[in-house]
Chains A and B, each alone.
Chain A
């Protein structure tokens, strides 16, 4: 049996006295789109960075496609990662940037690069230096970079941030498409309609704790009578200190 694409057990991260993530237990099967929600400072980016092998967990374990995140060389072949600020060199052109990452991965990805550039309407601009790109263009290029080696697991931190509606639509379509090809997508975003549209399951992190988890429709069903059954209302309810909601309902 295939291991889950992402699996965390009691995953915890402390920064000094602060607990950024507290005992996170997650299991995301292959091909699922998992929406990871939470207010600013909830610990979403720290969780993603632990999954991406960039930050060491304080305790607990996390596995990507069966590989422990403390073993970077075992994890990275399976992983595509797009941080909130796309990791790009302003001085290079898009082609040079993508060729550089292909060189680092030691893969021949010319055809896939061309196809993804075409998909994101970046072919015309691919010989321009990245420093001249708009935020949306950088975001699209960062996504192509994360996807170029056809990863099993794609970690996306605010992938539609700064994109115009058309580009955001393209990203959403692409996420759905890669998930259909059995790529698991771990999607952290503030844009709830994106999660509502795409995610098979949603987890809401609040102050380092996973306070709600389930399919968007199931979570909405847990709302009290009278509330409009939307993901937004679920989010507001489980992340509001003033209200008492049992997330395990």
Chain B
């Protein structure tokens, strides 16, 4: 290789920093241009400042407690957590966004790809450093004051920057590798929607195992393991400046020597992956199997369920439901958010599952959460959920009632049996008696039937039309968070009489029988649910019918 070629492969500092500056300027303008983004940033900054003061106190106390070996171990684990946390966030961003450059064709035909890569990485580093700078300064100042030496402050800033840089490069390189895998593997490209949904679920289960109540053993084991990996050496590099801390100078030296080696290696790897992703041809999945399946389904005509429903609901309503099921079967990420409410009570139930018991609170929680999931699935954004097809829907002859019936049916057909089945199953596993079980099942039925109507109404009040990145290079219109909160609040309020009846019985047991109290609670909930469900349905139907985008 000639010297010229070798020189060409090194990034230009001027161009890379220019790209990074431009990227950071764009980020700042995006934040400044949106009240919501600016508000969230300021709120995040306020919390960060509050936490940072805590870091300052911890830094100040550290030299005094340094004789205890567990402090060093804690510091080592914490260094690894900073690296891992950075990997986690940067990896997600690389997969969703930064792995491909904005205005890619323009930039890549203007500068060498290594300049573009370094520019993007520097910009990402700038964003990350903004987040860690204040906590690092607070911790460093605290540590310096506690140790009565300025050295720990310098070391803290250097180690924080090093930890973030390593985490960022690992995360970004892994993100590039992940995107390249999707671009090159026909299997992954073909099934990325399903795989993405599975990865999200696996991640949730893993998160629940570590962080759910009762997961202390798992998280402690994980934390201890993190103190023994090379990223933990960064803590030694910091604490070697605090003589009483007992840091290992050898590990500290290894961190100092290893850092530039790791950075150079990771950058080289990223520089090798980036052009393969940016300039390479993505595989074109063979859709023939899908085509054959779709054609066969068409030849077979309506399914048993379709034929059964055809006698009950109108053709336009059934058409809407059938279309929704087809879309979600083929692209589950469109509605994967709907699983979240149902997973939350299961998250808190993990503790019980570990020791073979099921909390008696889980069944009522699932009755409410299952209804919220059912409402969220298809009904929470009646207008925006149609995305670009809304004009065709509105200019068809479908009336609002048929349309909302269709989206309600889409959620109820899978949601009602799942919610009722889970509620009944968990009640039985929790050894609740038959009366309580029946009452909870009744509550689940009442709330779930009402959920789509309530969801549709909150969805037309808080519509959302913008697509969001939902990972794995997929975009979907995710309903508004406000619509979701409104749905959850309304259903929770409607559920209160049925759920409070269990507590009320303890005060009234001398006067009335238990079944009477529970039945009365269920009856009030059923009436409330029917009222808000039907009212919501009518409001949503009328809103869809008269909707104009002004």
Once the chains are docked, how many angstroms separate the CA of A128 from the CA of B320? 20
Q: Find chain A residues with CB under 8 A from B390 CB.
A: 87
Contact A72 B316 (CB under 8 A): no
Q: Which residues of B contact A88 (CB under 8 A)?
A: 388-389, 392
Contact A127 B294 (CB under 8 A): yes
Task: Contact check, B549 vs A145: say whether CB atoms are below 8 A apart.
Answer: no
Asked whether A103 lies within 8 Å of B549 as measured between CB atoms, the reply is no
CB-CB under 8 A from B11, the residues of chain A are none
Contact segment of B116-124, B137-145, B323-331, B342-350: B323-331
**B298 contacts which of A77, A95, A106 (Cβ < 8 Å)?**
A95
Interface string of B388-414 (1 = CB under 8 A from A): 111111111111000000000000000
A128 partner residues in chain B, CB cutoff 8 A: 287, 291
Are A54 and B326 touching (Cβ within 8 A)? Answer: no
Given A92-B327, A104-B393, are A56 and B294 neighbors across the interface (CB < 8 Å)? no
Given contacts A54-B394, A54-B395, contact A106 B315 (CB under 8 A): yes
Chain A, 45-63, CB within 8 A of any chain B CB: 49, 52-56
Given contacts A49-B549, A92-B323, contact A79 B294 (CB under 8 A): no
List which B514-550 residues lie within 8 A (CB) of chain A: 545-546, 548-550
Taking A93-B294, A96-B298 as contacts, is the C-beta distance between A106 and B388 under 8 angstroms?
no
Let me know if B395 and A96 touch, CB within 8 A.
no
Q: Within the complex, which residue of A76, A85, A93, A127 is in contact with B396, where a contact is CB–CB below 8 Å?
A: A76
Contacts of A52 in B (CB 8 A): 391, 395
Determine whether B319 belongs to the interface, using a CB cutoff of 8 Å to chain A.
Answer: yes
Whether B298 contacts A89 by the Cβ 8 Å rule is no
Decide: A54 near B319, CB < 8 A? Known: A76-B396, A92-B327, A96-B326.
no
In the complex with contacts A54-B394, A106-B397, A129-B290, A89-B315 CB distance below 8 A = no
**CB nearest neighbor in B for A92:** B326
In the bound assembly, the distance between CA atoms of A76 and B316 in angstroms comes to: 15
B501 on the A face (CB < 8 A): no
Cα-based distance from A99 to B395 in the complex (angstroms): 15
**Size bin of chain A's contact surface:** 35 or more
B153 at the interface (CB under 8 A from A): no
- Which chain B residues numbered 389 to 448 have a C-beta less than 8 Å away from chain A? 389-399
* In the complex, chain B residues whose CB is within 8 Å of the CB of A56: 548, 550
Majority secondary structure of chain B interface residues (helix, strand, loop or mixed): helix
Q: For window 205-251 of chain B, which residues contact chain A by CB distance below 8 Å?
A: none
Q: Does B318 sit within 8 A of A, measured CB to CB?
A: yes
A232 interface residue (CB < 8 Å to B): no
* A91 on interface, CB distance cutoff 8 Å: yes
CB of A72 within 8 A of CB of B327, answer: no
A73 interface residue (CB < 8 Å to B): yes
> Given the interface contacts A96-B294, A96-B323, A96-B326, does A55 sit within 8 Å of B549 by beta carbon?
yes
* CB under 8 Å from chain B, chain A span 214-243: none
Write the chain B residue with the least CB distance to A85. Answer: B388
Question: Is A105 on the interface with B (CB-CB < 8 A)?
Answer: yes
| A101 in contact (CB, < 8 A) | yes
A132 within 8 A of B: yes
Q: Contacts A55-B550, A83-B391 hold; do A127 and B298 have CB atoms under 8 A apart?
A: yes
Knowing A91-B327, A104-B396, A128-B287 are in contact, say whether A54-B388 is a contact too (CB < 8 A). no
- A83 to B294 CA separation, bound complex (whole angstroms): 27
CB 8 Å contact bits of A163-203 with B (1 = contact, 0 = none): 00000000000000000000000000000000000000000
Inter-chain CA distance A54–B393, complex, in Å, is 11
A residues less than 8 Å from B291 (CB atoms): 93, 127-129
Flag whether A34 is at the interface (Cβ < 8 A).
Answer: no
Asked if B327 and A105 make an inter-chain contact with CB atoms under 8 angstroms apart, the answer reads no
Which residues of chain A come closer than 8 Å to B391, judged between CB atoms? 52, 54, 81, 83, 87
Determine how close the nearest CB of chain B comes to the CB of A130; give it in whole angstroms: 10
- B388: chain A residues at CB < 8 Å are 85, 87-88
Check if B323 sits within 8 Å of A89, measured CB to CB.
yes
Cα A93 to Cα B395 with chains together (Å): 21
4 closest pairs, A vs B, by CB? A103-B319, A104-B396, A87-B392, A104-B398
Interface CB pairs A-B, < 8 A, 29: A15-B550, A49-B549, A52-B391, A52-B395, A54-B395, A54-B548, A55-B549, A56-B550, A72-B395, A73-B399, A73-B545, A76-B397, A79-B395, A83-B391, A87-B388, A87-B389, A91-B326, A92-B323, A93-B294, A93-B298, A96-B298, A101-B392, A103-B315, A103-B318, A104-B316, A105-B316, A105-B398, A127-B291, A129-B330
Other A-B pairs beyond A100-B323, A104-B397, A127-B294, 4, CB < 8 Å: A72-B545, A73-B397, A129-B290, A129-B291
